[in-house]
Structure 1
Amino acid sequence: MSRSFLFLLGSSRSDGNTEALARRAAEQLPADVEQRWLSLTEHPLPDFEDLRHDTDHVRPSGDNAALLLDATLAATDIVIASPLYWYSVSASVKRYLDHWSGWLRTPGLDFKDTLAGRTLWGVTVLAATEQAYADPLVGTLSNSAAYMEMRFGGVLLGNGSKPGDVLNDTDALTRAKTFFDAGPGFRQ
């Protein structure tokens, strides 16, 4: 299976710092690697409703949930590009990950088996200079990958606040050049 990257943009701001850093890293991918970019703001999911004890789950169709599910299943590499909001992923990313719970229980979908062995990556930009503030975000993605038996590619960290600031973070831009070559489990 050739590599296919799904970039999920979790910012409430289009063309923000996190997206800019993710795009810099994506520029380094070989030309034959498919890239699909989806904004969770443009394709919002409803709040997840836990029905596991009440009803059978059915496969979503014809809406944003179906679009995101199909894109997730088609990708070999899933990149969560979320700014650091209150020490973790954005609300739209959290909502997307919550929907994984329903997709895990959808008969015939084999969601976990399909994602097992694929790679989950993260890209985030934080305003603080202390990168430890991103530890909860890294933990969310790392633990999600472990539960799904996916490889965890790591998280590319950048620094910035107002739009364009991350382009002044020369260390992050340097790391972006080799981020997707770093191998699973690497944290930059």
Structure 2
Amino acid sequence: MTDRRFLFVLGSARRDGNTEQLARIAAEQLGDVEQRWLWLGDVPLEEYRDVRWPVSERPDPKGNEKLLLDATLEATDIVIASPTYWYSVSSSTKRYLDHWSNWERVPGFLDTMAGKKLWVVTALAEEHHQADALLDALRRAADWTKMSWGGGLVGIGNRPGDVLSDTTALTRAKTFFAA
């Protein structure tokens, strides 16, 4: 597993929230596998504008968009770590994923994405099934890009640190990336 490179895209509105804590517990099992952690609060993206057409007018990604594009392309495994907000990903995570639509025009983007694996880590205040729509949307994103689907790790936690009491999620985190 040492030739793999994991990109953790942290989409929480706060640092070290339940989702990030659960992702870090799961990542401990990766050992010496390269990991890059990017909190979208540190690398905010411009408001998404659909500039796919005409292709001749597509600007080259710059700044934070270029940083995230490069990190996405360099990774073998992408972990979307977003809390479940209103049955979906956070707004910063959605904006990151929206940019994939423009990046499909970047030469080699879709071919490179096809060789990757997409994973999801999420935490929410309610029952696990409340994350079903989020997981389905990201599984479809994996299908669209021809990525392998690694699966979803769902934890329950309302207040900061609550996920550390979800013994089911903590147990699953120990083997989550083994798939």
- State the TM-score bracket (shorter-chain normalisation): over 0.9
What residue in structure 2 maps to residue 90 of structure 1?
90
SS of structure 2 residue aligned to 1:113 = helix
What residue in structure 2 maps to residue 186 of structure 1?
none
What residue in structure 2 maps to residue 168 of structure 1?
165
What residue in structure 2 maps to residue 56 of structure 1?
57
CA distance in 2 between partners of 1:56 and 1:169 (Å): 49
What residue in structure 2 maps to residue 119 of structure 1?
117
CA drift at 1:3: 0.0
Counterparts of 1:69-148 in structure 2, within 5 Å, are 69-106=69-106, 109-128=107-126, 130-148=127-145
CA distance in 1 between partners of 2:61 and 2:118 (Å): 22
SS of structure 2 residue aligned to 1:38 = strand
SS of structure 2 residue aligned to 1:28 = helix
5+ unaligned residues in a row in structure 2: which ranges?
none
CA distance in 2 between partners of 1:51 and 1:14 (Å): 31
State the aligned residue count: 177
CA distance in 2 between partners of 1:115 and 1:53 (Å): 21
SS of structure 2 residue aligned to 1:27 = helix
When the two chains are superposed, the root-mean-square deviation of aligned CA atoms in Å is: 1.2
CA drift at 1:30: 2.3
What residue in structure 1 maps to residue 156 of structure 2?
159
CA distance in 1 between partners of 2:12 and 2:173 (Å): 19
SS of structure 2 residue aligned to 1:53 = coil
CA distance in 1 between partners of 2:86 and 2:163 (Å): 19
SS of structure 1 residue aligned to 2:68 = helix
CA drift at 1:112: 0.5
What residue in structure 2 maps to residue 22 of structure 1?
23
CA distance in 2 between partners of 1:58 and 1:112 (Å): 18
CA drift at 1:99: 0.2
CA drift at 1:117: 2.2
CA drift at 1:53: 2.4
State whether residues 59 and 103 of structure 1, in contact with CA within 8 Å, keep that contact through their aligned partners in structure 2.
Answer: no
CA distance in 2 between partners of 1:66 and 1:132 (Å): 35
| TM-score normalised per structure 2 | 0.95
1:9 lines up with 2:1 in the alignment:
no
CA distance in 2 between partners of 1:156 and 1:48 (Å): 28
Amino acid at match of 2:118: L
Percent identity of equivalent pairs: 60
SS of structure 2 residue aligned to 1:161 = coil
CA distance in 1 between partners of 2:82 and 2:164 (Å): 17
Amino acid at match of 1:56: E
CA distance in 2 between partners of 1:177 and 1:140 (Å): 25
CA drift at 1:52: 2.1
Match of 2:147 among 147, 150, 167: 150
